[in-house]
Structure 1
């Protein structure tokens, strides 16, 4: 039974952080105002389907369902490889200083971030979390400086 079924007075809503909020770096500020409310992630088991036989599977699904998750699709040349480098090793104790996990996480069960490990995984995960029409194409003001594109 879902929380909505158990407590019929609860509602669901859609929240979108619009381009101006994203471009101004306000995502964390906006999310922090909703964090204490929480929500149930209904498809944690689908996301981690490849780990179903592992002993930590149930705990991992419980954790992923315990509160808000910000799902994002980043685009750029080499973004999977470089994204993994930015994130660091799965075990924060083995992550290099300067990586997200190396600087901000302590234990493997609470390593704060997930990133696709290859093109096929990225395709599957993006398809699980987003409908194709939700993936918008836009030009960042930084593109011309990063890629030399006018």
Structure 2
């Protein structure tokens, strides 16, 4: 099983989309391993988006992510990173497929509702930024035998 990091950004939290988004991942069969609502401190935002630090949009992105609460999650399942990325959709909501989270709820690339790790390596790094090892819960869902071969 693989774990991935997902963050509902301030626009998604403010629009009341937490329940809808969590429901989609649960209905897919993914298992929630950790979750927390918080306003992110600058040091963790910088670490989260460090690959964008030299880009012109970074100051605005960082200010936006720190502008309100985010809902941080760890999801687990077979090929969880790829599954979640498909469910989230393209970064630009105008290019995201209908049925994806961004395709259904986003209109602007700067307010695209959600972040999800783009690789297993990124997932490990991002989970480590936002969750201590003891905060990730190991358990079995009762429906796992009917979800997986």
Q: TM-score, normalised by structure 2?
A: 0.72
Deviations 1:106-145 (A, max 9, x none): 0000000000000110010000000111111011122122
Gaps of 5+ in 2: 1-17, 21-36
Q: Is this contact kept in 1: 2:38–2:71, CA < 8 A?
A: no
Q: Distance in 2 between matches of 1:78 and 1:92?
A: 23
Q: Distance in 1 between matches of 2:72 and 2:39?
A: 14
Q: Is this contact kept in 2: 1:45–1:61, CA < 8 A?
A: yes
1:141 is paired with a residue of what secondary structure? Answer: coil
2:102 is paired with a residue of what secondary structure? Answer: helix
Q: Give the equivalent residue in structure 1 for 2:100.
A: 99
Q: Distance in 1 between matches of 2:100 and 2:19?
A: 19
Q: Distance in 2 between matches of 1:76 and 1:56?
A: 33
Aligned length: 114
Q: Give the equivalent residue in structure 2 for 1:66.
A: 67
Please state which structure has a larger fraction of its residues in strand.
2
Runs of 4+ more than 2 Å apart: none
Q: Distance in 2 between matches of 1:58 and 1:120?
A: 25
Q: TM-score, normalised by structure 1?
A: 0.71
Matched, 1:41 2:40: yes
Please report the RMSD computed on the Cα atoms of aligned residues, expressed in angstroms.
1.8
Gaps of 5+ in 1: 1-26, 30-37
Rg (Cα) greater in structure: 1
Q: Distance in 2 between matches of 1:123 and 1:136?
A: 15
Q: Give the equivalent residue in structure 1 for 2:129.
A: 128
